[in-house]
Amino acid sequence: MKINKKQTFLDGLAKKDNRIREVDLPLAKYVSKYKRSSVLFSRSRRSEVFFTEDSKLYLTSDELKKIKRGERVEKIIGRLDSLNSRIFENTRIYAGTQKEDFFSSQLKKQYRRFRENALELVQDSTQKISVVKLWNLSIVGAVIFGMFTMTMIYRYLGQGVSAKINESAEQRQIVQLPEKTQEEEGEEMSNNIDLDSITSIMSEQAKEAEFEAKIMEMVKGHPIEAMVPEIVKKDRIVAAFLIGIAKQESDWGKRVPVLDGQNCYNYWGYRGIRKRMGTGGHTCFDSPQDAVDTVAKRIEFLVSNE
């Protein structure tokens, strides 16, 4: 007869457990496969294969900054066994002839730090400034530069140079003056006519001699008196307009544009573009006859198109 002997320990922790356990085979395989691996969770994805900074297989951000500053990045891994490269990378080994002075090295180090901080400060400040603020700053800078330039011109070159600059700018503006349309010239002519003079001339249907005497009596003592023989040769309506416009524009020749101190014979405020231009952008005629013929031709064209 066989007797089964069963030994039981008093300490429950050392008690043998002979119960049959269930084994999760897929879980066991997963644990066996990945128990010695690591997973990197980044912002974009999860990586099971990656390299750390100690591997020296890629450039870190600090190493990239050093390369941009022109410094040399030492990668000693693979040359020294059983050595932590991050601890050793701040150590420099020099030959006897290559040893640098202590103060010189410290000065270079401080300069590198200052340059790095200055670059970061400029980058941060420009990124925070909007396009509108940059535009306003450029305008303010241009105004300040212009004021400084004019101050230097007045101080060292005198007012004559500034006057010549203004005169040349005015002449360029005159040359670039666009041609007026017929409607604009018609409106300008109607606004610059002395109606009393025209009414007085046209009220009497006199002969040519009496017509000339009437005009001579009206403009006696004025510079336009020398042009009356040429004016009376034109049509009476045109002649009346010549007298009326001249009265309104120049008081019959008392206010006229000049060129180099000489009379331009422009008593009608005519602004046709020519090679010779007087003050105020007015045309400078070669002679009184040239002035009367040119202005009368323009008036005839405008009157015929009314």
DSSP H helical segments within the chain, as ranges? 25-34, 61-68, 85-88, 102-128, 131-152, 159-175, 182-191, 195-202, 208-218, 228-231, 236-250, 288-304
Written as six digits, the tokens of 230 are: 């040429």
Rounded CA-CA distance 297/306 in Å is 15
- pLDDT of residue 51 exceeding 80, the answer is no
Residue 33: pLDDT over 80: no
Please compute the mean of the pLDDT values over residues 166-182 and round it to a whole number.
Answer: 48
Domain ranges of the chain: 34-91, 132-173, 180-304
Alpha-carbon distance 289 to 302, whole Å?
20
pLDDT category at 304 given cuts 50, 70, 90 is: confident
Residue 180 has pLDDT above 50, yes or no: no
pLDDT band of 201, cuts 50, 70, 90: low
Give 54-86 pLDDT, tens digit per residue.
666 667 778 888 888 877 776 655 555 545 555
Quick one: pLDDT at residue 173? 45
Q: What's residue 13's pLDDT?
A: 54
pLDDT band, very low/low/confident/very high, at 200 (cuts 50, 70, 90)? low
d(CA 294, CA 269): 12
C-alpha 250/C-alpha 1 separation (Å) is: 155
29-38, 153-162, 228-237, 262-271: segment of lowest average pLDDT: 153-162
- Average pLDDT (16-41) is 72
Indicate the helix (H) or strand (E) that contains 259.
strand 258-259
Q: What CA–CA distance (Å, rounded) separates 291 from 224?
A: 11
- 119-133, 172-186, 238-252, 283-297: range with highest mean pLDDT: 283-297
Task: Specify the DSSP class assigned to residue 153.
Answer: I
Mean pLDDT score of the chain: 72
pLDDT of residue 68: 84
* pLDDT given for residue 157 in this prediction: 64
pLDDT band at 150 (very low <50, low <70, confident <90, very high): confident
Tell me the three state secondary structure of residue 233: coil
